[in-house]
Amino acid sequence: MLVAGVAIVVLFLAGVAMQATGSPEQTAATTAPASRKPVEPGVGDRVRDGKFEFVVSGVDCSRTTVGSELLKRTAKGRYCVVSLSVRNIGDRSRYFVGGAQKAFDARGISYGNEEIAGIYANRNTQTFLDKLEPGERAAGKLVFDVPRGVRLTRLELHDSLLSGGADVHLGKR
């Protein structure tokens, strides 16, 4: 009789424990999904640094020259021409500084914007040489001279030479 009483108590406690913890099927269904890696901004996305908002609309790394037939600049490797727009989201006039912009390859090597090639590439378009008033947007091209065989993976766009920068991931092109 004592054995029967102990067995009933054990079964009762087992039932309480199962209700408290739930069955394996219930536990699996209520487990939160694995956290996903945040989506990194890429081509076409808006990013901000300081008082500027940037949108990269395209990257063309197929060129060895920029400019016209009579007035052109030749790359040491190849040119990666980045088309982007910059909008002043601040409350006073600001200049976009092309020399503050950087590009990186998969090994983390940094490449600076080649401003003279940028002048050639921006012929007949609104460039970044003008002051941007609050709310005003300018579109143009940044030009990076990279060694042949190097693939750019990321741009770091800056409001100024001293700002933290905003990353734009280039992904597979």
In the chain the domains, ranked by start, together with CATH numbers, are 46-169 (2.60.40.1240)
- Res. 104: pLDDT tops 50: yes
More confident position, 68 or 65: 65
Query: What is the DSSP track for 5-68?
Result: HHHHHHHHHHHHHHHHH--HHHHHHHSPPPPPPPPPPBTT-EEEETTEEEEEEEEEEEEEEEE-
- Evaluate whether 25 touches 9 at the Cβ level (below 8 Å): no
Q: What is the chain's length?
A: 173
d(CA 67, CA 141): 12
pLDDT tens by residue, 151-167: 999 999 999 999 999 99
| pTM given for the model | 0.75
Q: What percent of the chain has pLDDT over 70?
A: 73
